[in-house]
Amino acid sequence: MTRAYYTDSYTLQFETRVTAAETPDGRPAVLLDPVYFYPTSGGQPHDTGHLRRGDAVARVVDVIERESDGAILHILDRALTPGPATATIDRERRLDHMAHHTGQHLLSQAFVRVAEAETVGFHLSPQSVTIDLDRADLSPAEIDAAETLANEIIRRDAPVAVRFVTGEEAAALPLRKTPPGRDGRLRLVDIEGFDLTACGGTHVARTGEVGLVKIVRTERRGATTRVEFLCGARALADYRQKLDILRSLSAALTTGAADLPAVVVKIQDENKALRTELRRREAALLALEAEQLLAGAAPLGEARLVARVFTGREPDELRRLAGALTEAGSVVALLGLAGERTHLVFGRSAGAPGHMGELIRPALAALGGRGGGNATLAQGGGPAGDEAKVAATLTAAARELRQAREGPGM
């Protein structure tokens, strides 16, 4: 088996031979010779594509290296028989992987030079591309400097060469990373005058093909820093998306892009002031509503009892109304919400009778709901219920409260 991708990352259509057909884990798979499809390894995902064997065409959905013998298994969406075949690798996926893996080498070496930060992890996926660095204290200036240096090497359009050396030869070279070799040999990727490292991935032939390296996010993760970056077509797509967002915001806020941060801060301040004023007015209205409800409250010994059903309100509003009621002396408030979702809020003043947490349990059970609370405040919700059903629940709770007050020991 010839691993042709080791020396040629650009061949995307080729003649090959299906040397064996297998079914690992019940999935159809074949072995090819030569092999241009890259298997998942070293943080880089596998290639995809298709194989044509006569009139039969199968999609290559995964490529894996078998641990037992190092064979490259091409997982297919349908079975193929051994014999000559024509293979095609998905172009955009391969070129994306080549650009990002080379971009990773550039960025990893740049962080070594500007921050003495070594790369301890690399991950490439359709959603994100990241490296993990062995420093958690990277400054914004160091991050910017590494990005700038990586892009300088891209503009230089330095050659990227591949060669093989023995372990002894590698020991004498200034390698950034030295993983285990295959058959006593190491595959080196050499970015002329900048980076030399052992790697089995696919790369571009010149750094200019990377196009751009742009760091989009950094995150401290324990003793390391995760750096997310984009190269080439992904970086361009990301720039277009963010520029579209910027244009939309500028148009909506009728301001230039440079003034957007100040305008957003102004809007946030205004919204905060408006929310404060709204809460003040809501509190005043709730206090007025509480006064009106208390005017019609029923006596409960020396306390007063308010039992009322509402519709079209929010549970939090009921809770705040209960608070306004119980602040007005010795009061028990049994409030209910009817509609698509039922909700109960039971509250009492410090000197009023009853344990609200115990009182609300049977009431919620009658509505098919759940909740709880303590002696002075309890709440919970349930499924849909009309006003009559919720009112009956409050009436039963008020009756239980009166009976408990009038019972032995009261």
Chain centroid to CA 316:
30
Exposure pattern of 78-90 as b/e (b: 16+ CB <10 Å)? eebeeeebebbbb
At residue 312, the 3 state secondary structure works out as: coil
- pLDDT at site 183: 64
Give the integer Cα–Cα distance in Å for 77 and 27: 8
- pLDDT at site 356: 96
Which position has the token pair 């019972």?
Answer: 407
Chain centroid to CA 77:
30
- pLDDT at site 180: 62
Instruction: Assign domain 4-89 to a CATH class.
Output: mainly beta
Q: pTM of the prediction?
A: 0.74
Residues ≥6 apart with Cβ < 8 Å to 311: 337, 338, 339, 387
Mind listing the pLDDT tens digit for each residue in 274-324? Answer: 999 999 999 999 999 999 999 999 999 899 999 999 999 999 999 999 999
For the chain, which ranges sit under pLDDT 50? 408-410
Mind listing the pLDDT tens digit for each residue in 42-93? Answer: 899 999 999 999 999 999 999 999 999 999 999 999 999 999 999 999 999 9
Mind listing the pLDDT tens digit for each residue in 202-217? Answer: 999 999 999 999 999 9
Instruction: Assign domain 94-240 to a CATH class.
Output: alpha beta
- pLDDT at site 410: 36
Give the integer Cα–Cα distance in Å for 289 and 282: 10
Report domain extents, the chain: 4-89, 94-240, 293-406
Which position has the token pair 């006593």?
Answer: 184
* Residue pair 74/61 in contact by the 8 Å Cβ criterion: no
- pLDDT at site 406: 67
Q: How is domain 293-406 classified at the architecture level of CATH? A: Roll (3.10)
Q: What are the structure tokens assigned to 306, written together? A: 């308010």
